[in-house]
Structure 1
Amino acid sequence: MGASLMQDRDLNEYRPSLSSTSRHLPCSHQLCDLSSECKGPKDPCPYKDQYASDNTSSSGFLIEDKLHLASDGRNAAQSSVQASIILGCGRKQSGGYLDGAAPDGLLGLGPGSISVPSLLAKAGLIPNSFSICLNENDSGRILFGDQGHIDQRSTPFLPVEGRLSSYFVGVESICVRSVCLKQTGFQTLIDSGTSFTYLPNEVYEKVVAEFDKHVNATRITDQQSPWEYCYNASSQELKNIPQMKFTFSKNQTFLIQNPLLTFPGSQDYTAFCLTVIQTNEDYGTIGQDFLKGYRMVFDRENLRFGWSSSNCQDSMGDTENLTSASHSGSPNSLPANQQQTIPNTPAVPPAVAGKTSPKPSIVTASRHTSWHLLSSLSLIFIYGYLVKLM
């Protein structure tokens, strides 16, 4: 169920000037969060995003354009639709973005009203959910409207000041091999846009110390590396790297498929690093390195994060196992003037939150319809994912 974004082909650069349907979002628009920085209401709305990585940022202007979707023919009154989305068209990048992480700008996937899943759900095109799958080859796909497998594991999202404004979940413990460490519970952000995983200082010290106990390899020091625990190992020693897993609520385990980054050290040895970084924040971030090998479902409608093992090739052809949620309520799942509220749940530290949900004038269709992106459109590569636009 949903529309997929697949990063498995050559990508063309998106240029708003070549699109007959693109337009700058004006500063007077309700979704312009930085209107105070505009000189006039008709000026293009700017965006600025600063990330945890050193000096990594993206800034530019917000662009509205059409996402073209084709129906699979089930429960659909139309064979195709055009959905208005908003993206950040980059003018200035810094830090890691200069290395190709976001060559064109940013596409929002958060709970805020400006994100693509929010706009598609608000239009009634999809359930308010989407999935991301990342594989070891740095390829993957996004499926809008996907609520996952019936047998997937899941854990509830935690609120920020009572609302779903970021994808936080609760970690009860971290296990290294068969040892589940005490006092390693914390709250963490699930963030596919962060390259690596960050742990609060006290948790970090316990995890890396336990990991180091189980590694039978020579530890090496590289002052250029952001990671403290790197080793030289033979191929035989690499086979004995300790397994790691996170335990979420109700004993739901999230096995880390590969916690290491490996690179050639010499003819006989391979260097590898545990890609965990300590942070002074009281919450953590699970990044791309620990999320690979999973189909991750961000079910904003049911306020849950779900996961199941995947090679990222089965996300489209596996619709018979998708959950079929009931959509008896209004198709506009997010309230018009606030983030989605999560009742009776503990709060987590504030993080960067999106704006509220609008009521965009976009074509509507059955929420039980599966929508696929038309293949004849030009391509844009934003924030690590492929989007098809006019």
Structure 2
Amino acid sequence: MASSYRNSPVCVLLILLSCCAGCCFGFGTFGFDFHHRYSDPVKGILAVDDLPKKGSFAYYSALAHRDRYFRLRGRGLAAQGNDKTPLTFSAGNDTYRLNSLGFLHYTNVSVGQPALSFIVALDTGSDLFWLPCDCVSCVHGLNSSSGQVIDFNIYSPNTSSTSSKVPCNSTLCELQKQCPSAGSNCPYQVRYLSDGTMSTGFLVEDVLHLATDEKQSKSVDSRISFGCGRVQTGSFLDGAAPNGLFGLGMDKTSVPSILANQGLIPNSFSMCFGSDGTGRISFGDKGSPGQGETPFSLRQTHPTYNITITQVSVGGNAVNFEFSAIFDSGTSFTYLNDPAYTQISETFNSLAKEKRETSTSDLPFEYCYVLSPNQTNFEYPVVNLTMKGGGPFFVNDPIVIVSSEPKGLYLYCLGVVKSDNVNIIGREYPIANNISLFHNCYSY
């Protein structure tokens, strides 16, 4: 089977659910828009224009470099329910992909009283939401190519009338052994897989300003716990998540879990990524009727958004074999180890009609094919994945189009990178129009 290339927006819907005794419960939903760091809307917000051109060798090389340099640690998910309205951030549910800030997706959140806004990175690969706070080491702003200085807000518990400290005897305090007494401020420290990348501080509680995700939205304020990040190191000082990180994992410390425990939403959320770098996030989204579902494969120590794939089909050639993979919004590409990588890539290569280009050392992709400058149409093998439970998920446009203007070279590449360890389905590898993932229950 083959598919003709087309450039159209693709949406990935990630529903995180938690179920009890075979039943799923739901509440309302809240939403936010988000944006990729290199997207045009974010360039406008930050006045940053000295970025790699989308589709260039430099663009995809930078994405892969960021993946290697800034791979975060945990993952998580949660449940369907009744008919309360979804929630989103008070500033809107938009998200933006910001390539100059680590190729991550960002959204604008509002915290405290008086309310302060922060441009935070969204990450399903970690749990804690933290903000730069009374900083010893953090980024206070950016210099744009035009020379304009863009100042970031820095949170301080002393300037918010609704702020309070989280004591060490709180159930959310994971470093109680480091506390001198039960009433002391609860410390936190999050180490990320990138060498030397860390956020350290103490937990605070304050108001997160939300709104119902509907045409006539209503304001909803929720008291949440988050990290007052006094010291940031590594990637956080080099452009990735400089103004805070919004963890979306399964742990009790994540904001979706906190909102669900307060009864505001079901323990679920959805994220949609558009090809233009914009997107949306909605808390409490229950998905659409009839969509495919698959269970998570959970670890007891640190549960993540880990699913099991039981069959791979490339160009109509289906092979049954099982492997697990993690959905991670903080990773750009899809990384697969063997045998999955070899099975998919070699089958794709055997069916590709264009000549393979082997001199692509500047790219993270191994399988790329030459297009003529005037070529407007071409076909490539369709890729389908079957998840545990039997649900097929179609990979929309499993390729990336790459141009090298100095060389006059135009390529399309299979958008998969070989991994030596964990399998990760990244943000730039859209599987179908929506995916629903459920913890402890699934149905078709």
Whether these two folds match at TM > 0.5 is yes
Give the distance between the partners of 1:304 and 1:15, measured in 2 at CA: 42
Match of 2:423 in 1: 284
Contact 1:157–1:304 (CA under 8 A) maintained in structure 2: no
Give the distance between the partners of 1:223 and 1:56, measured in 2 at CA: 27
Match of 2:410 in 1: 270
Q: CA deviation at 1:172?
A: 0.8
Q: CA deviation at 1:188?
A: 1.6
Q: TM-score, normalised by structure 1?
A: 0.65
Contact 1:196–1:277 (CA under 8 A) maintained in structure 2: yes
The unaligned stretches of length 5 or more in structure 1 are: 74-78, 307-390
Give the distance between the partners of 1:243 and 1:286, measured in 2 at CA: 17
Contact 2:398–2:430 (CA under 8 A) maintained in structure 1: no
Q: CA deviation at 1:209?
A: 1.0
Contact 1:170–1:186 (CA under 8 A) maintained in structure 2: yes
Give the distance between the partners of 2:160 and 2:228, measured in 1 at CA: 13
Contact 1:131–1:143 (CA under 8 A) maintained in structure 2: yes
Q: CA deviation at 1:297?
A: 4.2
Are 1:66 and 2:207 matched, yes or no?
yes
Give the distance between the partners of 1:244 and 1:190, measured in 2 at CA: 17
Residue type at the aligned position of 1:45: P
Quickly say closer, same or farther: Cα 1:293–1:4, change in 2 above 3 A: farther
Are 1:7 and 2:144 matched, yes or no?
no
Give the distance between the partners of 2:362 and 2:228, measured in 1 at CA: 32
Select 1:176's aligned residue among 314, 330, 338. Answer: 314
Quickly say closer, same or farther: Cα 1:149–1:169, change in 2 above 3 A: same
Match of 1:350 in 2: none
Quickly say closer, same or farther: Cα 1:173–1:88, change in 2 above 3 A: farther
Give the distance between the partners of 1:250 and 1:4, measured in 2 at CA: 29
Match of 2:87 in 1: none
Give the distance between the partners of 2:288 and 2:442, measured in 1 at CA: 13
Residue type at the aligned position of 1:30: T
Give the distance between the partners of 1:264 and 1:110, measured in 2 at CA: 36
Give the distance between the partners of 1:198 and 1:24, measured in 2 at CA: 40
Number of residue equivalences: 296
Contact 2:31–2:211 (CA under 8 A) maintained in structure 1: no
Contact 1:135–1:293 (CA under 8 A) maintained in structure 2: no
Select 2:339's aligned residue among 178, 194, 202. Answer: 202
Contact 1:218–1:233 (CA under 8 A) maintained in structure 2: no
How many percent identity over aligned positions?
32
- Deviation readout 1:102-157 (Å, 9 max, x if unpaired): 22232221111001111011001111211111111222111111110012221122
Select 2:273's aligned residue among 118, 134, 149. Answer: 134
Mean CA deviation greater in 140-149 or 228-237: 228-237
Contact 1:297–1:305 (CA under 8 A) maintained in structure 2: no
Quickly say closer, same or farther: Cα 1:262–1:35, change in 2 above 3 A: farther
Quickly say closer, same or farther: Cα 1:280–1:269, change in 2 above 3 A: closer
Select 2:398's aligned residue among 241, 259, 279. Answer: 259
Contact 1:21–1:65 (CA under 8 A) maintained in structure 2: yes
Residue type at the aligned position of 2:190: K
The unaligned stretches of length 5 or more in structure 2 are: 1-27, 36-40, 46-107, 109-116, 119-152
Give the distance between the partners of 2:403 and 2:196, measured in 1 at CA: 27
- Deviation readout 1:149-190 (Å, 9 max, x if unpaired): 0122211222324x882222210112212112343x212222
Give the distance between the partners of 1:33 and 1:305, measured in 2 at CA: 35
CA RMSD of aligned residues (A): 3.4
- Deviation readout 1:69-104 (Å, 9 max, x if unpaired): 34589xxxxx65421223345532434x56644222
Match of 1:48 in 2: 190
Q: CA deviation at 1:293?
A: 6.6
Quickly say closer, same or farther: Cα 1:68–1:228, change in 2 above 3 A: same
Contact 2:401–2:413 (CA under 8 A) maintained in structure 1: yes
Match of 1:57 in 2: 197
Q: TM-score, normalised by structure 2?
A: 0.58
Quickly say closer, same or farther: Cα 1:234–1:22, change in 2 above 3 A: farther
Q: CA deviation at 1:68?
A: 2.4
